[in-house]
């Protein structure tokens, strides 16, 4: 390749990147405003410029997911955005939706194939995030969709370790039953978890065992 040809290609790449950067703010604004018509125009422009790649779509999907915009999220998913995709240091859309307690978005992402065990770079799963944030409806939904209750992050912590005793006391019977049904592991002797506190799950189990034995 000649020096002149190399410079031309470099110039073309630079212009393409510049165009993409100019489109991105409009994409993010349309996604957070739930402006479907604007999103459609932006994607058509990006396609014409041959810039409609996965990274571009993911930025819009992550923004609409964290802002709870169902229309924009569905539109982007229908146009090829990856329900499990992440960009740079940004967490996948499912984690953003769980963190913000956007259960409608969680339902939608799972419908389009998002992995219920999606985790961030430190191994913290969507289930752990739901527990930490006290989002019980989402926690139940993720378990029902197959999230592993015993998955561990990079520090060896599972969903129980994302809770203090105060939060465990707020769990409803349905959540307790779900975790027990999915073989949640209670670490330590006598049903104590690694936080060194008696698990509410262990207490619930003590109450249910006699009834089960009577049957």
Render each residue's pLDDT in the chain as its tens digit; 215 residues: 555 554 454 444 444 444 556 899 999 999 999 999 999 999 999 999 988 998 999 999 999 999 999 999 999 999 999 999 887 778 899 999 999 999 999 999 999 999 999 999 999 999 999 988 888 899 989 999 999 999 999 988 888 777 654 555 556 566 667 777 888 876 654 344 433 343 444 444 443 443 333 33
What confidence score (pLDDT) does residue 175 get? Answer: 67
Predicted pLDDT of residue 181: 80
**pLDDT score at 1:** 53
> Which one-letter DSSP state was computed for residue 160?
G
Residue 99: C-alpha distances to residues 95, 106, 131, 201 (Å): 6, 10, 10, 24
What CA–CA distance (Å, rounded) separates 198 from 87?
A: 40
Under a CB-based contact definition with an 8 Å cutoff, are residues 85 and 58 in contact? yes
- Token pair 């996965």 is found at 54
Q: What is the pLDDT at residue 4?
A: 53
The pLDDT of residue 187: 60
Does the structural domain 19-114 have CATH classification 3.40.190.10? no
Give DSSP secondary structure letters for 49-81: TT---HHHHHHHHHHHHHTT-HHHHHHHHHTT-
Q: Phi and psi (nearest 5°) for 163?
A: -130, 145
């Amino acid at each position: 390749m000649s020096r002149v040809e190399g410079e031309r290609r470099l110039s073309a790449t630079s212009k393409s990147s510049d165009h993409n950067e100019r489109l991105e703010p409009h994409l993010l604004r349309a996604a957070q405003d739930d402006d479907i018509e604007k999103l459609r125009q932006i994607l058509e422009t990006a396609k014409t410029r041959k810039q409609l790649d996965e990274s571009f779509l993911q930025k819009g999907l992550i923004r609409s997911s964290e802002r709870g915009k169902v229309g924009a999220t569905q539109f982007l998913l229908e146009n090829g955005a990856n329900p499990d995709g992440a960009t740079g240091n940004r967490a996948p859309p499912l984690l953003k939706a769980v963190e913000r307690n956007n259960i409608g978005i969680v339902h939608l992402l799972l419908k389009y194939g998002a992995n219920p065990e999606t985790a961030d770079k430190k191994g913290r799963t969507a289930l752990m995030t739901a527990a930490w944030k006290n989002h019980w409806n989402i926690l139940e939904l993720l378990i029902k969709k197959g999230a592993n209750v015993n998955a561990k992050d990079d520090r060896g912590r599972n969903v129980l370790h994302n809770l203090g005793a105060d939060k465990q006391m707020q769990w409803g019977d349905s959540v307790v039953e779900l975790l027990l049904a999915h073989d949640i592991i209670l670490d330590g002797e006598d049903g104590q978890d690694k936080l060194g506190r008696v698990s509410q799950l262990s207490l619930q189990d003590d109450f249910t065992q006699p009834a089960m034995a009577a049957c």
